[in-house]
Structure 1
Amino acid sequence: MTLVFAHRGYSQAYPENTMKAFKEAALAGAHGLELDVQLTKDGQLVVIHDEKVDRTTNGKGFVKDFTFKEIRKLDASYKKKRLLQKEPIPSLEEVLEWMTTNQIICNIELKNGVFPYKGMEEKVIDLIHTYKMKDRVILSSFNHYSIVYCYRIDQEIETAPLFSEGLYMPWVYAQSIGAKSIHPRHTAAPNELVRASIEYGIAVRPYTVNKEKDLQRFFAIGCSAVITDDPVKALQIRNR
Structure 2
Amino acid sequence: MTLIFAHRGSAGTHPENTMDAFLEAERVGADGIELDVQLTRDGEIVVIHDETVDRTTNGKGFIKDYSLKDLRKLHAHSTFKKKFFNKQKIPTLNEVFDWMKNNSLICNIELKNSIMDYEGMEEKVINLINRYGYAGRVIISSFNHYSIVACKRLDPTIEIAPLYSTGLYMPWVYAQSLGADAIHPNQKVASDEIISESMRNGVSVRPYTVNKAPQLKRLFTIGCSAIVTDYPEKAIKMRSEY
2:121 equivalent in structure 1: 120
TM-score under structure 2 length normalisation: 0.98
Counterparts of 2:23 and 2:86 in 1: how far apart (Å)?
Answer: 15
Deviation at 1:78, TM superposition (A): 2.7
3-state SS of paired residue (1:159): strand
Tell whether 2:153 aligns with 1:162: no
Number of residue-to-residue matches in the alignment: 240
2:134 equivalent in structure 1: 133
Q: Percent identity?
A: 60
User: Aligned AA for 1:203?
Assistant: S
3-state SS of paired residue (1:134): coil
1:213 equivalent in structure 2: 214
Deviations 1:72-125, CA, capped at 9 Å, x for gaps: 110001331213521000000100111111000000000000111000000000
1:6 equivalent in structure 2: 6
> Which stretches of structure 1, 4 residues or more, deviate above 4 A after TM superposition?
none
Tell whether 2:2 aligns with 1:19: no
3-state SS of paired residue (1:155): coil
1:198 equivalent in structure 2: 199
Deviations 1:117-143, CA, capped at 9 Å, x for gaps: 000000000010011000000000000
Within a 5 Å distance, the mapping from 1:11-50 to structure 2 comes to 11-50=11-50
Any stretches of 5+ residues in structure 2 without a counterpart? none
1:188 equivalent in structure 2: 189
Counterparts of 2:25 and 2:152 in 1: how far apart (Å)?
Answer: 28
Alpha-carbon RMSD across the aligned residues, in angstroms, is 0.6
Counterparts of 2:69 and 2:62 in 1: how far apart (Å)?
Answer: 14
Within a 5 Å distance, the mapping from 1:139-158 to structure 2 comes to 139-158=140-159
- Which range moved further: 182-191 or 73-82? 73-82
Counterparts of 1:170 and 1:42 in 2: how far apart (Å)?
Answer: 37
2:229 equivalent in structure 1: 228
Counterparts of 2:174 and 2:208 in 1: how far apart (Å)?
Answer: 19
